[in-house]
Structure 1
Amino acid sequence: MELPDYVGRYVVRRKIARGGFAVVALAWDEELAADVAIKILDYRGEHDESLKQRFVEEARLLRRIKSYSIVGVHDVGRLSDGRPYFVMDHADLGTLTDRVAARSGMSGLPSGDLVQLVDALASGLSAIHRAGVVHRDIKPENILFQTVGFRAVPAAMAGSDDVTVLDPVPPPSSRKSPDRVMIGDLGIASDLLGNTQTSLILGGTPAYMAPEQYEADGGVSPAADVYSATAVLWYAITGSRPPDAVAIGEAVERLAEPWRDFFLRGMSADPTERFDDIEAWSRAAHDAMARIAAEAPDPGEGLTEGQAIASPGADCPYRGLSSFQPEDADRFFGREEMVADLIKRLQSQKVLVVGGSSGSGKSSLVRAGLIASLRDGAIPGSENWRVELFTPGRDALSELYFRLRGDADHVRVRLEEFVARPSVARQVLGDEAGAPLLLAIDQFEELCTLNEPKVAEGFVDALAAITDPADSHVRIVIAVRADYYPNCAQFPWLAEAVSRNQVLVGPMTAGDLRRAIVEPARRAGFYVEQHLVDAIVSEAGLDAGVLPLISHALVETWMRRMGATLTYEGYRASGGMAGAIRQTADAVFDSDFNDAERRVAKRLLLSLVTPGEGGGDARRILARSEIEGDADAEIMDQVVKRLTEARLLTIDDKTIQITHEALLRSWPRLSRWIEDSRADLRMRLRVVQMAEEWIESGRDPEMLLRGARLDYTLEWLENNADKTGAKERAFLIASTDARDAEREERDRRRRHLRRLQIAAVSALGVLAAGATAASFVAFNQS
């Protein structure tokens, strides 16, 4: 078949594949400036109309079944001669066959690639089966690989024949981020809900066909795809053709023991003896890989030059209550599809908002997912971007100023000018205004909880000023708790940004959550019992905010592990997902602290809480300098040290804070303290804010409390003296001194006035006496 130069708006470049009835061409989408693949029917015969119908059905099925792990269809049409075609994702990295062949001299794929393959097969086939479809032709040639993110393609590609084409399969060492793995070719798929005739056609690829597919009725059942997926995994592991169902019993003896039962079941000749569904198949595959990793970790997986091989004595593979950081990308799993979506969105829009409930994992998604991918070049040139990752804190405008300024020596705008006029933010960038900059603002709700409305308004104005110009090279990613969306809506620019480009982080799917649990352990050489994984997934349900609870419970389970195995018994002993945080916190409070330390610990923890107003309770960042002058400073140091060791607090050189807001919800004792002290906490927060404003104003006397407000605050202070920090006490002392000075001044003026009045009355008395005497003398003389 001679390919046309154009198919619709697509510039045809070259043929990249050919099947029995169709040809696939690489083309260039002139409108979207992207590579695409075009599949064109190439058959002329007596069954031409039947094939055309099947061809169009394939496009409709691909379009109907939505999954990151299935080739996407973007367009359909017909050539001038009536032959149908459809436009789909281009697998620029080739097929599984190409990938295995590229590892000549080595048996199959490394374990990391196997995990990705299992996940893609499970995700894609699960979507296919939910749609009432059976693929029937899962084989290595139909497993496709695509670069994640955006490849740099010359702008002249649409009009030039001198184009450099990427190699189908780059060397594994040259790929930094995971590739997208897709299932393609639904040409002989059976739509069980569509009453099509495809299921009556005998089809498939012999080495990967289930035995029942050879029967007259085609053997249409999801169990056939389970068989084929198992056969594909055999090929990926061994690099050789899989045995048939009759010979599988003898062939599995060559495999590692954890794989044997898996292949015996997955490639059973009897469909009823196979895994119940593709999800059960995936769980069993992950379990086998985890057991192998615990027995003999892959010496090359996930390691960079100079890094040690993971071992059962290595560090804990889980983060507990702490968020993942960009450097934790190698143990961040379960959000791959969402990361790819964030990359795509950030490519097309300058501002991206990531929302979600507390504990949904939005901070980790941005840090270990998006930022780590950008540093690996997920967007062309992003490895060279300046990335500023920060939280607004208690002085949001100052924080933003120094993030914009970076390391620039020349300063065009001073901090004082910026705070007074945030709209000059673009000038703060100075000579770096043309350099790509990503502002990743985590815990954006701090802008509302820790700053005055005027500061928040100025902060948002500054963000608008640096992103609105058409030539701006600044991108912004905002991570915010979803319950603070109403606060965001108060600022028109921010409300528009949320409406235009936002991703709401919901609960993980069961498969994603399993990956998040099993994969960090597997990579570190640990095995998580499948029964334990099942229990955690079941307990998590559809609650989006349970991730920190799960992670903390896994840390506690890891500490109770049996050798290299994390057990169900260890999980239950830790308190499980619901009780691990409570058990840890109560153990520290009840067993490690004496009465004095308990009193100080309660005071400290309450000082680290911002009571909710228009949103849930939140963490409060406390400057370490505020506790250094504490009346119980020595005890306070011991309390901070022990709570930090228990991973309940996070400290750095300047600040201290509760590790995660999950502690506020999941430790009943702290929850009761907060509820009992809510009014006092709100009052303390107002005093703190007034004290900070007074300090920021240069201790302006006009900012001090006076009159009834001061009297009310001092009355509150009598019962809550231990809840105030140094700056609040300094503020209230200054207010009291100013009041006393004003009273003293009023008393002095009153005394002075009284003296004047007495003097005036005395003078009048003298004058009156003199006048009387003069009148008397004048009367006598007359």
Structure 2
Amino acid sequence: MHVKGGFSGSPVWDNELGAAVGMMVAAQPVREAQQAFVLRTRTLLKEVPELAPYVSPATPFRGLSTFQEDDADVFFGRDDDIERVVTALRGDQLTITVYGPSGCGKSSLALAGVVPRMRRDGYQILQLNATRFASLRSALATELFEISRSEPHGPPRAQNADQVEAWLANLGLADTVHRALGSSADRLLVVLDQAEALLEGSEAVAEELAGLLFSELPRDGLRVLITLRADFMDAALNHARFGSALNRGVTVPLTPMSRDQLAEVISEPVKRIPAVEYDPGLERRILDDAGGEPGIIRGRDDGGNGDKLPGQPYPGPLPPPTPDGGPGVPNPPKVA
């Protein structure tokens, strides 16, 4: 091709991919029409690796981290499970408990899968992680007060979080929510993640949990979503109030991902990135390294603890996809 002077060094844009795929380079001295060719992005990065941080897109994988609500667009493999939980939350029961083995993706399912769907349904979300507080009542009060402060309609109804905590102690969850948030809380979803941390505490902590979340009658617009490790189900069912609440509510088991689900987790996020693709055979190799049975994750010996994250190159076998929804790709998929 021929280009006018001054275009050498310009990016080459692919309208179909929606990305720059190379750089224009003039093959002749400067004149009105210069013969030119395109250097592909991959070739540029090979010759000038220092450009990689500026050219390579951000990884769509989250490694060993829990997917959050903002990660919903790269959360794959759990559509059927999301639908089951959302359907249960739209039903008549106050409490829905998602339980499964450690690391199977309960938190990611709740936060990146279910929460965005419920927010689109008009629910406000009150999110709590049981590993990060000692008192559920105090944590609920703080979150409710923060929501009330962010409301655009007038001043907050409560003076401080302590006042909300007193309401919780005297009125219960549903009436406190209405008093603190008014009509803006017609639909509220409370997400209690990793509830096993509360059951590991004292009996008083478990009683506080049951009293706040399980003593309410089913009420339109108020729902509680709990994630719980399966090995704590026995303790939960044997607890007088917790067990009764689980029996009255809906429990949704979550199993580790199947091979088909893992295949979706590996392939779909990359398809969302313009001009990026896996090397031939890499998807299959990652999937094979994950093992042939549902939930089987083969370890590897890299002289450490085997927790390499996406984008960290290393010699040796590929790390498997993490069971929480993100494949541990050792090198980013190649830029076209």
| TM-score between the two structures when normalised by the length of structure 2 | 0.64
1:410 counterpart = 2:153:
no
Q: Find the aligned partners of 1:506 and 1:574 in 2 and give their Cα distance.
A: 26
* Cα separation, partners in 2 of 1:453 and 1:529, compared to 1, 3 Å: farther
Displacement after TM superposition at 1:372 (Å): 1.5
* Structure 1 unaligned regions, length at least 5: 1-294, 301-310, 561-569, 581-658, 660-782
Displacement after TM superposition at 1:389 (Å): 1.3
Q: Indicate which of 61, 81, 87 corresponds to 1:338.
A: 81
Q: Counterpart in 2 of 1:602?
A: none
Q: Counterpart in 2 of 1:559?
A: 312
Deviations 1:624-673 (A, max 9, x none): xxxxxxxxxxxxxxxxxxxxxxxxxxxxxxxxxxx9xxxxxxxxxxxxxx
Q: Find the aligned partners of 2:243 and 2:68 in 1 and give their Cα distance.
A: 28
Q: Find the aligned partners of 1:368 and 1:498 in 2 and give their Cα distance.
A: 24
Q: Counterpart in 1 of 2:187?
A: 436
Q: Find the aligned partners of 2:299 and 2:229 in 1 and give their Cα distance.
A: 15
Q: Find the aligned partners of 1:548 and 1:356 in 2 and give their Cα distance.
A: 21
Report SS of the residue matched to 1:414: helix
Q: Counterpart in 2 of 1:426?
A: 174
Q: Find the aligned partners of 1:370 and 1:433 in 2 and give their Cα distance.
A: 24
Q: Counterpart in 1 of 2:292?
A: 541
Q: Find the aligned partners of 1:345 and 1:504 in 2 and give their Cα distance.
A: 12
- Contact kept? 2:77, 2:265, Cα under 8 Å: yes
Q: Indicate which of 310, 316, 321 corresponds to 2:64.
A: 321
* Cα separation, partners in 2 of 1:488 and 1:342, compared to 1, 3 Å: same
Q: Counterpart in 2 of 1:374?
A: 118
Deviations 1:709-760 (A, max 9, x none): xxxxxxxxxxxxxxxxxxxxxxxxxxxxxxxxxxxxxxxxxxxxxxxxxxxx
Report SS of the residue matched to 2:99: strand
Deviations 1:325-347 (A, max 9, x none): 11111111111111112111111
Q: Find the aligned partners of 1:422 and 1:452 in 2 and give their Cα distance.
A: 22
Q: Counterpart in 1 of 2:18?
A: 299
Q: Find the aligned partners of 2:170 and 2:294 in 1 and give their Cα distance.
A: 39
More helix by share: 1
* Cα separation, partners in 2 of 1:340 and 1:534, compared to 1, 3 Å: same
Report SS of the residue matched to 1:360: coil
* Cα separation, partners in 2 of 1:312 and 1:497, compared to 1, 3 Å: farther
* Counterpart mapping for 1:305-704 below 5 A: 313-348=56-91, 349-375=93-119, 377=120, 382=121, 384-392=122-130, 393-405=133-145, 406-407=147-148, 409-411=156-158, 414=163, 417=166, 421=169, 424-429=172-177, 430=179, 432=181, 435-449=186-200, 451-465=201-215, 467-468=216-217, 470-499=218-247, 500-525=249-274, 526-529=276-279, 531-538=281-288, 539-544=290-295, 546=297, 556=309, 558-560=311-313, 573=316, 576-577=319-320
Give the letter for the 2:90 counterpart: Q
* Cα separation, partners in 2 of 1:297 and 1:332, compared to 1, 3 Å: farther
- Contact kept? 1:433, 1:472, Cα under 8 Å: no
Identity %: 23
Report SS of the residue matched to 2:281: helix
After the TM superposition, which parts of structure 1 deviate over 6 Å for at least 4 consecutive aligned residues? 552-555
Displacement after TM superposition at 1:299 (Å): 3.2
Deviations 1:557-592 (A, max 9, x none): 5333xxxxxxxxx6x6366339x9xxxxxxxxxxxx
Q: Find the aligned partners of 1:530 and 1:482 in 2 and give their Cα distance.
A: 38
Which structure has the larger Rg?
Answer: 1
- Contact kept? 1:357, 1:544, Cα under 8 Å: no
* Counterpart mapping for 1:84-103 below 5 A: none
Give the letter for the 2:127 counterpart: L
- Contact kept? 1:422, 1:459, Cα under 8 Å: no
Report SS of the residue matched to 1:460: helix
Q: How many residues align?
A: 254
More strand by share: 2
Deviations 1:146-203 (A, max 9, x none): xxxxxxxxxxxxxxxxxxxxxxxxxxxxxxxxxxxxxxxxxxxxxxxxxxxxxxxxxx
Give the letter for the 1:461 counterpart: G
Displacement after TM superposition at 1:537 (Å): 2.8
Give the letter for the 1:534 counterpart: R
- Contact kept? 1:438, 1:474, Cα under 8 Å: yes
Displacement after TM superposition at 1:410 (Å): 2.8
Q: Find the aligned partners of 2:116 and 2:222 in 1 and give their Cα distance.
A: 18
Q: Find the aligned partners of 2:299 and 2:207 in 1 and give their Cα distance.
A: 32
Q: Find the aligned partners of 2:60 and 2:192 in 1 and give their Cα distance.
A: 26
Q: Find the aligned partners of 2:166 and 2:110 in 1 and give their Cα distance.
A: 31
* Cα separation, partners in 2 of 1:296 and 1:574, compared to 1, 3 Å: farther
The root-mean-square deviation of aligned C-alpha atoms, in Å, is 3.6
Q: Find the aligned partners of 2:271 and 2:83 in 1 and give their Cα distance.
A: 23
Report SS of the residue matched to 1:368: helix
| TM-score between the two structures when normalised by the length of structure 1 | 0.29
Q: Find the aligned partners of 1:436 and 1:547 in 2 and give their Cα distance.
A: 43
* Cα separation, partners in 2 of 1:523 and 1:374, compared to 1, 3 Å: same
Q: Counterpart in 1 of 2:43?
A: none
Task: Report 1 or 2 for greater relative contact order, CA contacts < 8 Å, sequence distance ≥ 6.
Answer: 2
